[in-house]
Every structure is written in C-alpha cells, then in structure tokens.
C-alpha cells in the first residue's frame, strides 16, 4: 500500500523545479537549441505574451522589451534576453508606479528574488519568471 502512495507522488517530485534563493537576478532557460534558434524563439514568445520589443541585436543575439505595466500590479517591467547555445539568459529592470514605495518612483531597479509575496519587487520577479517559463526548457537561477 505504501508503494502505491509513493508511485502517486513520484510525478510531483520528478517535475519539481529548483526554487530561487534570495538575491537571484537572472533566470537561465536551459535547452538543446543553438544560439540562433534560441534568438528566433524569444521574439514570438514575447509578442504572444503582449510585450513589445524595444531593442534587438542580431549580431549579439540580444532582445530588450519596452517597459510594460504588470496587470493588476503597481510595477512596470522591462526584460533583457541573451540567446546562447543551449540557454537563454533572462534579466530585467522594474519601475514602481506608486509614489510612496520601497523604491523611488520612476527610478529603475534590477529585478531580483526578494521581498514579501505581493511586494513590487517580488511581483516583478514573478513576471520575469513567468516569461522565462514560456520559453520552454529547464529553469535555473543565478545571482550575478
């Protein structure tokens, strides 16, 4: 009987992803694509998610979005992507839309994993994590 219960929970344990530690500011989406394939993957995913492209560089395979308000949250986010062989690196900046805030309104700050649930900085990281997850592949986290 114990084996049957173990087998029921095995899929949950197998697909559990690494959770970020405090201060993480980059998400690495690991896959088996070439840098060129990863670069071509980024833009359609962003457009489908409602982001607009501010800058892109075909030579260095980088993409930057325009600032966008996270729906239902008081924070604007901008994401940066670097396409490499077997990985896409995601980072970003955020601007608070609230006049009274932990961070000065209208001054960008680096998105990182910290703060309480529901805080501006945590909402920004969760938005970045959500976009990274849409790229497919295995997510891992870095502090740079």
* 59-79 tens-digit pLDDT: 999 999 999 998 878 889 999
Determine the average pLDDT of the residues in 40-66: 97
- Looking at residue 12, its pLDDT comes to 42
- Looking at residue 9, its pLDDT comes to 44
What is the C-alpha separation between 34 and 46, in angstroms, rounded?
Answer: 19
Domain borders along the chain are 50-144
Q: Which H/E stretch holds residue 128?
A: helix 120-134
- Looking at residue 132, its pLDDT comes to 97
- In the chain, pLDDT over 90 holds for what percent of residues? 65
- Looking at residue 102, its pLDDT comes to 53
Determine the average pLDDT of the residues in 36-65: 97
- How do beta strands 138-142 and 26-30 pair? antiparallel
Q: Is the pLDDT of residue 46 over 50?
A: yes
Query: pTM, whole model, 2 decimals?
Result: 0.82
Phi and psi angles of residue 69, each rounded to the nearest 5 degrees, phi first:
-75, 130
- Looking at residue 118, its pLDDT comes to 84
What is the CATH number that goes with domain 50-144?
Answer: 3.30.530
Return the DSSP state at 80. E
Please, which residues bridge with residue 141 across strands?
A: 27
pLDDT band at 115 (very low <50, low <70, confident <90, very high): confident
Determine the average pLDDT of the residues in 98-114: 73
């Amino acid at each position: 009987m114990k084996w049957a219960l173990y087998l029921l929970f095995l899929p949950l344990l197998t697909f559990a992803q690494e959770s970020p530690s405090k201060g993480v500011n980059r998400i690495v989406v690991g896959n088996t694509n070439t840098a060129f394939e990863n670069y071509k993957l980024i833009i359609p995913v962003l457009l489908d998610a409602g982001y607009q492209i501010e800058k892109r560089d075909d030579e260095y395979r980088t993409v930057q979005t325009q600032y966008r308000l996270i729906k239902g949250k008081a924070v604007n986010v901008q994401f940066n992507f670097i396409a490499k062989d077997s990985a896409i690196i995601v980072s970003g900046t955020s601007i608070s839309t609230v006049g009274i805030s932990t961070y000065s309104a209208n001054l960008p700050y680096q998105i990182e994993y910290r703060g309480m649930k529901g805080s501006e900085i945590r909402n920004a990281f969760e938005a970045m994590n959500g976009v990274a997850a849409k790229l497919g592949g295995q997510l891992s986290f870095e502090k740079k």
